[in-house]
Chains A and B, each alone.
Chain A
Amino acid sequence: MLEGDEKLSERELLQAGYRYGWSLSSNKQDAEDLVHDAWIRLIKRYDEVPSKSLLFTTIRNLYIDQLRHEKHVIKHQQEGRFSLTLNSEEVEPDFIRRDEIQFLLSKLRDVENEALFLSLVEGYTAQEIAKMTSSTRGSVLSLLHRSRQKLSRWLNEDKLQPSNVVKLVRGAVKE
């Protein structure tokens, strides 16, 4: 258990696991499957989920085992979905923003996405993320830096318009 692992209710743990699954798979269905399989695996083994960090580690292991080879297909399918949604000029600005973030996150490498999630959303330190992902603190810091750079390059916050998002989705903006 990591230092920052506070005692959470089962519902809170499940939601956190689901979000973490999202950060890895960038996909609702896979995130649901990941948190489901990891949760049941831990219940079978320990009768309860001992900590959030263990839940995350289990989700990560499952993801590596089961989903990595399908990643390309999943991302490709997502791009199609976004294009259809964002072509509409009538969508609400807030909705566009979330969708755009979702799309940009899905463009990041898995490990970058994961590091951003663990750092920004879960508040883990680079050292804790390194421990969870069997990496080094230096690598995590580098990942976080690179992913922020990519996002700021992709996302020109001042000029964000639905039409630009459509361009992003269609691959007009390259890394």
Chain B
Amino acid sequence: MSKTESAIVDFYQSRELDEGKLARLLKESRVVRRKRWNQKILSLSAVASLLSLLVIGGLYFSSTKNGDPISVVLQEASVNHKNKLQLDFKSQELPTLAKVMDKLDFPLLLPESVRQQFKLLGGRYCTLNGNLAAHIRFNAADDNSEVSLFMTQSRKELLALANQSEDIDGVNVSTWVADGMFYVLAAN
């Protein structure tokens, strides 16, 4: 290394940040680091809160959409109607059907409007919201399409589910309560 080069090295090596500035800068670094971590934690908390909200929202949505009693009842009726399960008892006479479906804990009485509009085909046992129910199948007088009527004793928890109407997978499902009975009518 020449004298000039040595002088250059010596010059630069003599340049030093003084101790006070160095200490201040290192202190500032610690403050910046702390702020950075606080921001990181804040961001992570925000993300965690957002995820929690999404999960809670999702759970709430799924419980209100699929898990609430009315959805379950309407879904049950729709599925039972669409599947056209084999009738346990075939009869076009209501008294005969009522006589053979003797396991029911309610009298098999059909609403006047149903009797007038539809032609009886038969019935089978089923459940509605966990209660023993009758699934009575009819033919519509006008277009011969099948119609299902589900009926069970009206209970306290079922009263809240009355007077609902919804299209479930292409099946129009309606509920009502009359004469102590809870009815669900399903038709395409």
Contacts and interface: CB of A to CB of B under 8 A. Distances in A.
Interface of A: 10-11, 14-15, 18-19, 22-23, 28, 31-32, 35-36, 39-40, 43-44, 47, 97-98, 101-102, 105, 116-117, 120-121, 148, 151-152, 155, 157
A15 B16 contact: yes
Given A97-B7, A121-B13, A14 B22 contact: yes
15 contacts: A15-B17, A18-B15, A32-B17, A35-B17, A36-B25, A39-B29, A43-B36, A97-B7, A101-B7, A101-B8, A102-B11, A120-B9, A121-B12, A152-B4, A157-B3
Contact of B12 (A11, A23, A32, A44): A23
B11 A101 contact: yes
Q: Per DSSP, are chain B's interface residues mostly helix, strand or loop, or mixed?
A: helix
Interface string B10-48: 111111110001100110110011001000000000000
Contacts of B28: 40
B5 A120 contact: yes
A14 B19 CA distance: 11
Contacts of A39: 25, 29
A121 B9 contact: yes
Q: Which of B7, B9, B10 has the most CB of A within 10 A?
A: B7
A151 to B, nearest CB: 5
Given A36-B25, A105-B11, A121-B12, A44 B32 contact: yes
B35 to A, nearest CB: 8
A18 B28 CA distance: 16
B10 A98 contact: yes
Nearest to B23: A11
Interface of B: 1, 3-5, 7-17, 21-22, 25-26, 28-29, 32-33, 36
A44 B17 contact: no
Contacts of B3: 157
Contacts of B29: 10, 39-40, 43
Nearest to B24: A36
Given A18-B16, A19-B12, A43-B36, 5 more contacts: A11-B22, A18-B17, A19-B15, A23-B12, A120-B8
Contact of B36 (A10, A28, A47): A47
A36 to B, nearest CB: 6
Contacts of A97: 7
B13 A98 contact: no
A155 B4 contact: yes
B26 A22 contact: no
Contacts of A19: 12-13, 15
Contact of B17 (A14, A98, A117, A155): A14
A43 B7 CA distance: 33
Contacts of A32: 17, 21
Contact of B11 (A18, A28, A98): A98
B17 to A, nearest CB: 5
Contacts of B33: 43, 47
Nearest to A46: B36
A12 to B, nearest CB: 11
